[in-house]
Amino acid sequence: MALTLRNLTQNPFTIKTLETFEDPNNAQSKSNVFPPDSRNVAQHALSFHHENLDILVKPFESFMLRAKGMASSGKSIRSPSIVMRITIESDMGERHRIDTNPLYTQKSSKPFTNLIHNPSRSYTALYHPAKPVAHLVVHTNHLHNYARWMESLPSNLPLSALSIPGTHNSHTHYRGLPSVRCQVSSIKVQLENGIRFLDVRVQPSHATDTQKKDLYLVHGAFPISLTGVKYFAPILETCYAFLAANPSETILLSLKREGVGSATDEHLAAILENHYIAPNPSRWYTGNRIPYLGDVRGKIILVRRYDIQKPSTPLSISSKTSSSSASFPVAACGLDATEWPHNSTHAVHGPFCVQDWCEVLHPSSIPSKLQYANEHLIRSSQTTAFIPGVNTDDKNPIPPGPLHLNFLSGSNFWNKGTWPEKIAKVVNRGIEEWICMGHALEEPVVAIDEPDRARAVDVECAGGTTGGTLRRKAKGGDGGTGVVIMDNVGEGGDWDLVGLIVGLNMGVLMAMHAIGTGL
Beta strand ranges found along 315-441 (DSSP E): 335-336, 347-349, 352-355, 403-407
Cβ atoms 337, 350 nearer than 8 A: yes
φ, ψ for residue 499 (rounded to 5)?
-60, -40
Cα(367)–Cα(429) distance, integer angstroms: 12
DSSP letter (8 states) at residue 118: S
> Could you say which of 96, 135, 168, 267 is catalytic?
168
Sequence-distant (6+) residues with CB within 8 A of 241 are none
Nearest CA-CA partner of 250 in 303, 203, 209 = 303
> Could you say which of 44, 171, 219, 267 is catalytic?
219
Nearest CA-CA partner of 284 in 306, 312, 251 = 251
Q: Determine the residue type at 146.
A: Y
Number of helical H runs and strand E runs in the chain? 10, 23
Cα(256)–Cα(350) distance, integer angstroms: 17
Describe the crossing of helices 420-437 and 366-381 by its angle, rounded to 10 degrees.
Answer: 40
Residue 168 catalytic?
yes
φ, ψ for residue 470 (rounded to 5)?
-135, 115
The tally of CA atoms less than 13 A away on the side-chain side of residue 142 is 13
CB atoms within 10 A of CB 172: 27
Task: Give the three-class secondary structure for 368.
Answer: helix
Residue 219 catalytic?
yes
Cα(125)–Cα(136) distance, integer angstroms: 6
Cβ atoms 483, 194 nearer than 8 A: no
Cβ atoms 368, 418 nearer than 8 A: no
Cα(482)–Cα(214) distance, integer angstroms: 33
CA distances from 277 to 243, 274, 330 (A): 16, 7, 13
Which burial class, exposed, middle or buried, applies to 59 when counting CB atoms under 10 A from its CB (0-12, 13-18, 19+)? Answer: middle
Catalytic sites, residue numbers: 168, 219
